[in-house]
Chains A and B, each alone.
Chain A
Amino acid sequence: MNILRWLVFGIAAIAMNFPVIVTLITSFKSAKEIAMNPGLIVQAPTFANYARVLTDTSRFNIYAYLFNSTVAAFIGSFLALLLTLPAAYAIVRTGVGKKHLLPVVANLRAVPLVVFAIPLYMMFQFVGLLDTRIGLGLILTIVNLPLSLMMMVNAISDIPGEIDEAARMDRASAFVILRRIVGPVIRPAIVTAFIFGFITAWNEYLFGLMLTTRQAVPITVGSSFFFSASGGGVQWGIASAVMVLGAMPPAILGCLIYRQLTGSMTAGAVKG
């Protein structure tokens, strides 16, 4: 029974991650081997694709794309938290916006992002934010707002109101309560929201494609440039290496989430 369970688990894991596995394996194959050996076993492993991507930056600079993505994703996730933490605190503690505003903001997530693309392009053109990392970061902030707000509201709702009241009796201002009490207590939720936001922002493609051209191109858009880096047909090995490199930061952050999801900081705060 146990063997069967592991077998099912193994098959499911391979099936779900098959595209990733193929990409990873392909990145270690030479162009010749890719053409001759489509199998999953690499006969002559090579780092040539990675070397090419990392050293030949004359036409497409992966470092710039990674840097752009890092900055934009950081802005997109950090700014979203900076806005949603006090907003969520106000919503939970005063009830203002809980009935109408919260569902509206939460449902922004359900609207296809392309709906925003054309008006945003025009607005960005007007204010000079096209092809800037800050501009891309601001859009990614909006993308992250709904989930971040929901996560903050849920986390703060779990903190008993009496803790706030105790802090108010101790002469703490709303800002101090947020910074010294609420913030640290919901730290796991904040970190999780940041990492989720960062991953979402990192993997965002549509706005990167529409709003950037040269200076602020993120890795998702930049990766596609490598497909035909040497001209002619698609360079699968190089493209795979770029995709592996580009997927590594969010993958590492993804692993970190699970360490944050354990334990509750409110344990022992109130009765029990």
Chain B
Amino acid sequence: MAQIKLDGTSKVFGDITVIPPLDLEIGKGEFVVFVGPSGSGKSTLLRLIAGLEQVSGGRIYIEGRDITTTPCGDRGLAMVFQSYALYPHMTVRQNMAFPLEMAGEAKASINRSIEETAHVLDITRFLDRRPAQLSGGQRQRVAIGRAIVRNPTAFLFDEPLSNLDAALRSSTRLEIMKLHQQLGATMIYVTHDQVEAMTMADRIVVLNHGKIEQVGTPQELYERPANLFVAEFIGAPRMNRIEGEAAAALGAGTIGVRPEHIRIVQESGLWQATVEVIENLGAESHVHTRSDVAGPLVVRMSGSPGVKIGDRIGLSPADGFVHRFDRHGMALR
């Protein structure tokens, strides 16, 4: 049985439909990532589940119980906010104690929970500090700690790493993944970063204009995108999009080939192109080319590229890795 179920859930602000009616089921212990560009409705969807926004239509169920109109505090969910949202006048200990005090727990039990959680997150030495005395990463750990102490049915994360620098983002990402394995709890995680989505999720929900474009494992989304939007959104560098004659030749309105699935063949090849820019990242290179018939194409190669700017090269897609889409951008199987 799904632990969290959205049944025709929708949200309208004034005349604007932010989330058209959608259905979604999230299983117990799953790590589900809502991903999409700005304005795709991913945060709104999370806030509907949290109860911070009221739904305009449909129902929401948690463990079979209809919680559509239940106040956010009574849904058994804990949320970690993008900006941490710690109580600035309270110490870390008081921040973590607050939800337990609100739940009416005994002081001894509160202290025990805080100590255990602080140990798990390695924030014991910060317990008597205030948020202003902590770094960004430490604050985020405290925010996660405040969520954990409640022992919620599910954790909701609203872009929790956006305010951290690249190195810290990467390490905190790993910590959240370890935490998920350790706690085995259901987690719903919102991000606009497809790398976060790919690396963390059991399942990814790709949203665009409030609509679910595709739900699947990271591998499914990468290998079998349901449409052009998903194909281009998942994967970095983004999938090459080829239209016109080159696509028609393969019986499609549009074709897509991932940069790692195009080979450089010196003389022949399906498409002739000129090398325009080379990005050398050390372990791999991104060769930006312009093809006579297929337009701009990016090729991802391991190690050094072996070509230079201005070279005329032939490009061929790897067999079985050409994605075909119809005129409406839907995948052709």
Q: Which A residues fall within an 8 A CB radius of B?
A: 160, 162-163, 165-172, 176, 180-181, 184-185, 187, 265-272
Q: Which residues in B have their C-beta under 8 angstroms from that of A166?
A: 79, 81, 85-87, 146
Given A166-B81, A170-B73; A269-B86 close (CB under 8 Å):
yes
Residues of A within 8 A of B73 (CB): 168-172
CB nearest to A184 among chain B residues: B89
Q: Is the CB of A268 within 8 A of B102?
A: no
Closest B residue to A163 using CB positions: B85
A-B contacts counted at CB < 8 A amount to 88
- Min CB–CB distance B148 → chain A (angstroms): 13
CA A265 – CA B52 in complex, angstroms?
A: 25
Are A169 and B83 interface neighbours, CB within 8 A? no
B: number of interface residues (CB 8 Å): 32
Q: Are B98 and A269 in contact (CB under 8 A)?
A: no
> What 5 pairs between A and B have smallest CB-CB spacing?
A268-B132, A171-B73, A268-B131, A270-B83, A269-B88
Digit string of B119-134 for contact with A (CB within 8 Å is 1, else 0)? 0000000000011111
CB 8 Å contact bits of B81-107 with A (1 = contact, 0 = none): 111111111000000001100110000
Contact A165 B52, beta carbon cutoff 8 Å: yes
The verdict on B18 contacting chain A, using a C-beta distance below 8 Å, is no
Chain A proximity mask over B209-252: 1 for CB below 8 Å, otherwise 0: 00000000000000000000000000000000000000000000
In the complex, which of the residues B82, B130, B131 contacts A162, with contact meaning CB atoms closer than 8 Å? B82
Q: Are A171 and B81 in contact (CB under 8 A)?
A: no
**Complex Cα distance A123/B98, Å?**
47
Partner pick for A269 among B52, B82, B87, B146, CB 8 A cutoff: B87
Q: Are A165 and B81 in contact (CB under 8 A)?
A: yes
Shortest B314–chain A CB gap in Å is 49
> Given that A165-B52, A170-B98 are known contacts, is A267 also in contact with B136, CB under 8 Å in the complex?
no
Within 8 A of A (CB), among B153-188: 163
Which of B83, B85, B102, B133 contacts A171 (CB under 8 A)?
B102
* B74 contacts the other chain (CB 8 A): yes
Q: Report how far A166 CA is from B82 CA in the complex, Å.
A: 11
Asked whether, in the complex, the Cβ of B85 is within 8 Å of the Cβ of A165, the reply is yes
Q: Is B207 an interface residue (CB 8 A)?
A: no
In contact, A163 and B87 (Cβ under 8 angstroms): yes
